[in-house]
Amino acid sequence: MLYDIFIDPFVQMYQMPDFFLQVLWEGFVAGILYALIALGFVLIFKASGVFNFAQGIMVVFAGLTLVGLNENGVPAYLALILTIGVMGVLAYGVERVVMRPLVNQPEIILLMATIGLTYFLVGFGEFVFGGEPKQMITEQLGLPTGSTAFEFGDRGLVILQHIDIAAAVIAVVMVTALGIFFNKTRIGRALRAVADDHQAALSVGISLNQIWAIVWFAAGLVALATGIMWGARSDVSFALEIVAFKALPVLILGGFTSIPGAIVGGLIIGFGEKIGELYWGGLVGGGIESWLAYIIALIFLLFRPQGLFGERIIERI
């Protein structure tokens, strides 16, 4: 038993390096997409201090809007532009209807508001688009299909799906661009001020409502990119909302306010899930990919509750 746990998996990695590289690639792609999902949560949390329960359904809603517009005769790129507009309208509506009336309310009130927004978008999405899974318009958007095989000497080959390469590149570009935008621009500095203290930010002339609208729109763009990438790898359905909640252990690992933390946390979860499932999953009957991330997050909570890049909060009692 001890051999199966501590030795045999590493023997397999050595004996079949091509398969191990394949697992690492799959873990990298999953991890970078988890990081992209987590980024949407980080943006909202930095601006309002609340976990945005609605981010998962925003991923689904954005993907369904894009596919639904195309199914009704709208060309793919025009549908993409219109979907960006829809996410902008959603951001404005959330700021006006949900966030603005709740300024300076306890964080639990804001959390409950995002839960209410989630069920509104679920109901509205099912009413408009139906509940059936839909195929992402991958080729119409110009995303690559097919695969490329790389020979690994005489030890086998590694197969890379082109859509996975595109997903990884787009995710890296978006994470990098948003990181630069929110760390190097005036709006980014205003965001950090709002995150630190709403009242202080208002006192120096920062528009809280404007910042919230911008942040929710940015989170909507992240949700759209995530919906396209995950939808291209499987399909667009309300089941994607469950995948989006894999961002929770990512946030626990990286820290709720850290963009670099979202990247590192996503990669840890991505690699951990794939390696754990394929090399240790058989010891517990398989299927550990669905819950291993939460076990890793629980371990981090015990030893470093603020996450790898999170800020330690000290409160006087």
The conformation of residue 236, written as its DSSP 8-state character, comes to B
The torsion defined by the Cα of 260, 261, 263 and 269, in degrees rounded to 10, comes to 170
Residue 146 is predicted with a pLDDT of 87
Q: Which residues pair with 150 in a beta bridge?
A: 158
- Report for 79-83, 138-142, 201-205, 216-220: range of highest mean pLDDT: 79-83
Distance CA 112, CA 107 (A): 9
Task: Name the residue with higher pLDDT: 80 or 178.
Answer: 80
- Give percent of the chain with pLDDT exceeding 90: 30
Average of per-residue pLDDT values in the chain: 86
The model's pLDDT over 163-217, given as tens digits with 9 standing for 90+, comes to 989 988 988 888 888 878 877 888 877 877 777 677 777 777 777 778 888 888 9
Residue 127 is predicted with a pLDDT of 92
φ, ψ of residue 44 in degrees (nearest 5):
-70, -40
The mean pLDDT value for 276-295 works out to 86
- The region of weakest confidence among 45-59, 64-78, 80-94 is 45-59
Residue 139 has pLDDT above 80, yes or no: yes
Residue 230 has pLDDT above 60, yes or no: yes
For residue 28, give the H/E element and its range. Answer: helix 17-48
As given in the structure block, the two tokens for residue 127 are: 């009413």
Residue 269 is predicted with a pLDDT of 93
As given in the structure block, the two tokens for residue 303 are: 């030893």
Number of neighbouring beta carbons within 10 Å of residue 242 = 11
Residue 317 is predicted with a pLDDT of 57
Q: Is residue 64 very low, low, confident or very high in pLDDT (cuts 50, 70, 90)?
A: very high
Q: Is residue 275 very low, low, confident or very high in pLDDT (cuts 50, 70, 90)?
A: very high
Residue 149 is predicted with a pLDDT of 87
| Number of residues that make up the chain | 317
Residue 101 has pLDDT above 90, yes or no: no
pTM of the model: 0.88
Q: Which residues pair with 277 in a beta bridge?
A: none
What angle in degrees, to the nearest 10, is found between the helix axes of 17-48 and 55-71?
Answer: 100
Residue 9 is predicted with a pLDDT of 87
Residue 158 is predicted with a pLDDT of 84
Residue 285 has pLDDT above 80, yes or no: no
For residue 3, give the H/E element and its range. Answer: helix 2-6
Residue with tokens 């090399």: 279
The model's pLDDT over 7-53, given as tens digits with 9 standing for 90+, comes to 888 888 888 888 899 999 999 999 988 988 898 888 888 777 778 88
Residue 228 is predicted with a pLDDT of 92
- What's the CA angle centered on 177, arms 248 and 141, to 5 degrees? 85
Residue 244 has pLDDT above 70, yes or no: yes
Q: Is residue 242 very low, low, confident or very high in pLDDT (cuts 50, 70, 90)?
A: confident
